[in-house]
Amino acid sequence: MLQFFSKFKFFGLVLLALSAVIIYLFYNALQPKKTLPVFQPNMVAQELVDSSLHYTKKYHTIADFALLNQNGETVTQDTYQNKIYVADFFFTTCPTICPIMTKNMAEIQGSILDKEDVMLLSHSVTPVIDSVPQLKKYALEKGVIDQKWNLVTGDKKQIYELARKSYLAVKTDGDGGPFDMIHTENFILVDKERRIRGFYDGTNQEEIQKLLQDLEVLEASYAE
């Protein structure tokens, strides 16, 4: 008799375990999958956006560009074709937030080394100072891996227009004139369709971790 109840008890425990697994699987299946927004100019604070785009509600993408990287190579939108990437704006002689941003970008670089479809792109906001040799020197000092991370210089007006009209990341209204100076701590997550999927404070470690989590979500969306 005791043996019979012992077997029944074992069966009950197995049934209970299977029920718990089934409930867990159903719960996960019913949870909505996390998705990232596709940012349009009208979703971003107006001071960060060129006035010509304030009421744009759809179809916003990063404009075409042509700039030089730390190796003197031309980098264009085609360099980032079918790539997810993180963009920012910096200058090599910045003594304040740029060293922190560069350190955090290097951390992101370390996290994407085995991700063939993820890259980084840093634009100099003082391109006259940040020549190709200067960028190369900075890249070597900061551990930049050429295949993953481009530091770019070039036409100042083009860079400033990209900052305000494409990346929606800068408060200053400067158009790239000789006395203009823009600076932003924002890291911008861009998808394979050249759409903005997130903004993050590049000086804040918690924000960097959020960026890395969102990157995983974005990658997963292309694997479906």
Residue 47 has pLDDT above 80, yes or no: yes
Residue 28 has pLDDT above 90, yes or no: no
Cα–Cα distance for residue pair 162/179, rounded to 1 Å: 18
Cα–Cα distance for residue pair 39/60, rounded to 1 Å: 8
The mean pLDDT of the chain is 87
pLDDT at residue 31 in the model: 46
Please state which CATH number belongs to domain 41-223.
3.40.30.10
N residues, the chain:
224
pLDDT band with cut points at 50, 70 and 90 for residue 224: confident
pLDDT band with cut points at 50, 70 and 90 for residue 172: low
Rounded average pLDDT over 140-162: 96
Cα–Cα distance for residue pair 101/204, rounded to 1 Å: 9
Predicted TM-score of the model (pTM): 0.83
pLDDT band with cut points at 50, 70 and 90 for residue 186: very high
Helices 98-111 and 205-223 sit at what angle, rounded to 10 degrees? 40
Q: Residues 112, 208: contact at Cβ < 8 Å?
A: no
Give whichever of 19-33, 101-115, 159-173 has the largest mean pLDDT: 101-115
- Single-letter residue type at 34: K
Task: Give the residue from 173, 101, 169, 168 showing the smallest Cα distance to 138.
Answer: 101
Q: Residues 200, 210: contact at Cβ < 8 Å?
A: yes
Residue 178 has pLDDT above 50, yes or no: no
**Pairing between strand 149-152 and 118-124?**
parallel
pLDDT, tens digit, 9 for 90 and up, residues 97-142: 999 999 999 999 999 999 999 999 999 999 999 999 999 999 999 9
The beta-carbon contacts of 77-83 under 8 Å, at least 24 apart in sequence, are 77/194, 79/150, 80/119, 80/121, 80/190, 80/194, 82/117, 82/192, 83/117, 83/118, 83/119, 83/192
pLDDT band with cut points at 50, 70 and 90 for residue 180: low
Residue 25 has pLDDT above 50, yes or no: no
Domains in the chain: boundaries: 1-31, 41-223
**Nearest 5°: CA angle at 69, between 68 and 73?**
70
Q: Residues 153, 121: contact at Cβ < 8 Å?
A: no
